[in-house]
Amino acid sequence: MTSQSIQGGVTPTPDQIRRAPKVLLHDHLDGGLRPGTIVDLARESGYSGLPESDADKLGIWFREAADSGSLERYLETFSHTVAVMQTRAALVRVAAECAEDLAEDGVVYAEVRYAPEQHLDGGLSLEEVVEAVNEGFREGERRARANGHRIRVGALLTAMRHAARALEIAELANRYRDSGVVGFDIAGAEAGHPPTRHLDAFEYLKRENNHFTIHAGEAFGLPSIWQALQWCGADRLGHGVRIIDDIEVADDGSVTLGRLAAYVRDKRIPLELCPSSNLQTGAAASFAEHPIGLLRRLHFRATVNTDNRLMSGTSMSREFEQLVETFGYTLDDMQWFSVNAMKSAFIPFDERLAMINDVVKPGYAELKSEWLFQQTASTSGSSAGQG
């Protein structure tokens, strides 16, 4: 049953959280496979390295193995998902199911990322990888629509920061920018792999007026965020959660921002926050202690994301359920995060605006009106009883 929170907003039920229009900017294709699909694809391709052959047990294995407190060990689990994503058919299936699963969870717009260079072992070219994933996303969008859900999915092409193919992948992203690819990213182990090693790729994208985000401020702190913004020119920060290291909260509750934190807030740099993932890699100790609470209060351009649904056993709804439970967030807070994310998307301004005005805001208005009607019904019910 819906209730009214102390802030005066409406505290959403789990069902309302699922139905609320959500916007996702940070989700890895190879971190979101259905366990049953991994088992199927391993059987079809002859991959014998899976730690479990039963889908339920495999799902648990991923969550536990990723729960190590270290980003490096978390990333090791991707060897199994990447291993079964080496053919055109596998990529189409995984991408289609990704779009379907997100739509089923009430996501209306998503940017899903993957590293094309990790899907070449079966003989595909970089172009064939991108085209297979695009085809899968379009198929998933169609199937979602047939099931009464509308979603738009754009791809972000990731380059691995320990490798040396960033410029090549940036060029690929640019070539497909009008065909399903909306931007570029770098990911992988952060410590020891500064983003400035890939300056040529970022400078190329800037010259092309293209968009990119950089994983920064997750396993490594402020220097990584500073480089991503001030040397590389990132439009958004993948995680960026360690910006908290530049924010001081005094005993009396007063807050002082350092120069970098002030810059991030003043320039409205979007933070792609991924709370559950951060708990697993050790970037935060608990939901209650996660910096998202403070960053939201201080009006940073904070967004809520899944990162890797398989490894964290999560979804957008689950992330929001925990935020609602921990911080008492209301439908207004959910709308604020969703509008923030939509404003920060890499699609053109007019399309972002249309999503905000025609999809996101009406969706929340409808959920809030459900609450109003429930209130009216219960009030008139009780007065009828009294009268």
Backbone angles phi, psi at 309, to 5 degrees: -65, -35
Minimum distance from CB of 272 to ligand 2ND (Å)? Answer: 10
Minimum distance from CB of 105 to ligand 2ND (Å)? Answer: 19
Rounded to the nearest angstrom, the gap between the alpha carbon of residue 252 and the centroid of all alpha carbons in its chain is 34
266 has binding-site annotation: no
113 binding ligand 2ND? (CB under 6 A): yes
Q: Which of 88, 215, 265, 296 binds ligand 2ND (CB under 6 A)?
A: 215
Rounded to the nearest angstrom, the gap between the alpha carbon of residue 255 and the centroid of all alpha carbons in its chain is 28
Catalytic residue among 218, 272, 319, 321: 218
Whether the CA torsion 103, 159, 320, 346 is positive or negative: it is negative
Sites of contact with Zn ion (CB under 5 A): 307
111 binding ligand 2ND? (CB under 6 A): no
Residues between 261 and 290 with contacts to ligand 2ND, criterion CB under 6 A? 277
Q: How many residues line the site for ligand 2ND (CB under 6 A)?
A: 19
303 binding ligand 2ND? (CB under 6 A): no
Residues between 40 and 79 with contacts to ligand 2ND, criterion CB under 6 A? 71, 75, 78
SS3 290: coil
Report the candidate in 298, 303, 324, 312 with the shortest Cα–Cα distance to residue 244: 298
307 binding ligand 2ND? (CB under 6 A): yes
Which residue has the CB atom at the shortest distance from Zn ion?
Answer: 307
149 has binding-site annotation: no
215 has binding-site annotation: yes
State the DSSP string of 16-73.
Answer: HHHHS-EEEEEEEGGG---HHHHHHHHHHHT----S-SSHHHHHHHHHHHT-SS-HHH
How far apart, in Å, are the Cα atoms of 225 and each of 202, 261, 301? 15, 10, 15
Among 7-15, 111-119, 139-147, 243-251, the segment contacting ligand 2ND (CB under 6 A): 111-119
307 has binding-site annotation: yes
117 binding ligand 2ND? (CB under 6 A): no
Report the candidate in 231, 364, 333, 247 with the shortest Cα–Cα distance to residue 295: 247
Minimum distance from CB of 113 to ligand 2ND (Å)? Answer: 6
77 versus 87: smaller Cβ distance to ligand 2ND: 77
Minimum distance from CB of 113 to Zn ion (Å)? Answer: 7
Structure tokens at 225: 């965020």
Give 65's contacts (C-beta < 8 A, 6+ positions apart): 51, 73, 76, 77, 311
Query: Using the 8-state DSSP alphabet, how is residue 307 labeled?
Result: B
In angstroms, rounded to a whole number, what is the distance separating the alpha carbons of residues 258 and 248?
8
76 is catalytic: no
Which residue has the CB atom at the shortest distance from ligand 2ND?
Answer: 187
Q: How many CA atoms lie within 13 A of 384 on its CB side?
A: 6
- Residue corresponding to tokens 């972000």: 156
Structure tokens at 111: 């940017």
218 binding ligand 2ND? (CB under 6 A): yes
12 versus 195: smaller Cβ distance to Zn ion: 195
Among 27-35, 175-183, 360-368, 369-377, the segment contacting ligand 2ND (CB under 6 A): 27-35
312 binding ligand 2ND? (CB under 6 A): no
Annotated binding-site ranges: 26, 28, 30, 188, 215, 307
Annotated binding-site ranges for substrate: 28, 30, 188
Catalytic residues, which ones?
218
Residues that bind ligand 2ND (CB under 6 A): 28, 30-31, 71, 75, 78, 82, 113-115, 118, 158, 187-188, 215, 218, 277, 307-308
